[in-house]
């Protein structure tokens, strides 16, 4: 749910309250920062050079308000790939947010405490995984390109291999993201062509054409089906279906910015940390 914590508006997941002595997780909104148009105001962007100084200040605000370990915040140079990195005490310095590195990955895993994993989004899904038995976390950037590459399943496989994670011990939480109401294209071949990635799911369950010829795709639906198929329990998959594009007063949205022909867009951050 979207709520206020220490005078800053965030998305938080009540399902994780049972583990509040072990894990901290929030998704920021666009409210309460220092960035100016077109990034107003709590823009936390890793790749954006133009608003870099304000992004650093905004991250200072977030960490101060929410209690994240600011000096250890790590991020990756997201590029819609299926590349995954495990953050360790040995490599953490190579991925610090403030270093502005160009190490391309789209998911991070760690079992080290006090290392916040930060993913930036502006419509894409950010999915966290928490292994409640082995105390391991992952933060995954899964836009439509990452979704067709099944980056979330590949992240789980890496957690299995490196930490002996079992799907039945995993809690998955979806960030606010663009929902089927707003993910749409006039390219019918593109939308209905997604069938080849999920041959076991009736495409009419997640793709439909509206009366104006827009083809809508429900990516959180197919991700959820994939997670269920590999053994993650339904009650441990949390998606509140909050649409970033429908709620641009609260969240940044790449889709809405492009519809309005505005020059640039900000990003919110999904941040998760073992404590």
Local confidence pLDDT in tens for the 275 residues of the chain: 999 999 999 999 999 999 999 999 999 999 999 999 999 999 999 888 888 999 999 999 999 999 999 999 999 999 999 999 999 999 999 999 998 899 999 999 999 999 999 999 999 999 999 999 999 999 999 999 999 999 999 999 999 999 999 999 999 999 999 999 999 999 999 999 999 999 999 999 999 999 999 999 999 999 999 999 999 999 999 999 999 999 999 999 999 998 988 878 999 999 999 99
Residue 192 lies inside a defined structural domain of this protein: no
Check: CB of residue 187 under 8 Å from CB of residue 91.
no
* CA dist., res. 82 & res. 102, Å (int): 16
Residue 18 lies inside a defined structural domain of this protein: yes
pLDDT of residue 264: 87
Report the CATH number that the domain containing residue 39 is assigned in CATH.
3.60.140.10
pLDDT of residue 116: 98
pLDDT of residue 16: 96
pLDDT of residue 93: 96
pLDDT of residue 8: 96
Residue 190 lies inside a defined structural domain of this protein: no
pLDDT of residue 153: 98
Residue 193 lies inside a defined structural domain of this protein: no
Check: CB of residue 15 under 8 Å from CB of residue 175.
no
Residue 227 lies inside a defined structural domain of this protein: yes
Residue 113 lies inside a defined structural domain of this protein: yes
Residue 213 lies inside a defined structural domain of this protein: no
Whole-prediction pTM: 0.97
The domain tally of the chain equals 1
* CA dist., res. 62 & res. 60, Å (int): 6
| Three-state DSSP class for residue 44 | coil
Residue 261 region, left (φ>0) first, then alpha (ψ -120 to 50), else beta? left
Question: Domain span at residue 117?
Answer: 2-183+218-274
**Backbone phi, psi, residue 165, to 5°:** -65, 140
pLDDT of residue 76: 97
* CA dist., res. 45 & res. 38, Å (int): 13
Residue-wise over 47-70: b if at least 16 C-beta within 10 A, else e?
Answer: ebeebeebbbbbbebbbebbebee
| CA angle at 131 for the pair 60 and 144, rounded to the nearest 5° | 70
* CA dist., res. 229 & res. 248, Å (int): 33
Residue 84 lies inside a defined structural domain of this protein: yes
* CA dist., res. 53 & res. 41, Å (int): 13
pLDDT of residue 49: 80
């Amino acid at each position: 749910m979207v709520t206020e914590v220490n005078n800053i508006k965030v998305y938080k997941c009540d399902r994780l309250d049972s583990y509040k002595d072990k894990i901290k997780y929030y998704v920021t909104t666009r409210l309460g920062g220092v960035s100016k148009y077109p990034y107003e105001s709590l823009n936390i962007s890793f790749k954006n050079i133009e608003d870099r100084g304000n992004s650093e200040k905004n991250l200072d605000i977030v960490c101060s308000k929410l209690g994240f370990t600011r000096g250890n915040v790590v991020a990756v140079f997201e590029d819609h790939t299926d590349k995954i990195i495990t953050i360790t005490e040995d490599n953490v310095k190579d991925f610090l947010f403030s270093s502005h590195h160009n190490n391309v990955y789209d998911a991070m895993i760690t079992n080290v405490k006090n290392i916040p994993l930060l993913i930036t989004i502006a419509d894409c899904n950010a999915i966290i995984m928490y292994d409640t038995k082995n105390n391991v976390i992952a933060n995954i950037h899964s836009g439509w390109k990452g979704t067709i590459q099944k980056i979330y399943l590949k992240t789980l496989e890496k957690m299995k291999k490196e930490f002996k994670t079992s799907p039945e011990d995993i809690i998955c939480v979806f960030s606010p993201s663009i929902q089927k109401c707003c993910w749409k294209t006039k390219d019918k071949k593109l939308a209905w062509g997604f069938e080849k990635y999920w041959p076991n799911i009736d495409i009419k369950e997640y793709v439909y054409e509206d009366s104006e010829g827009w083809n809508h795709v429900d990516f959180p639906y197919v991700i959820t089906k994939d997670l269920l198929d590999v053994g993650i329990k339904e009650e441990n998959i949390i998606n509140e279906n909050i649409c970033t594009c429908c709620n641009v007063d609260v969240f940044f949205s790449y889709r809405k910015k492009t519809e309005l022909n505005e020059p640039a867009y900000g990003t919110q951050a999904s941040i998760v940390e073992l404590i």
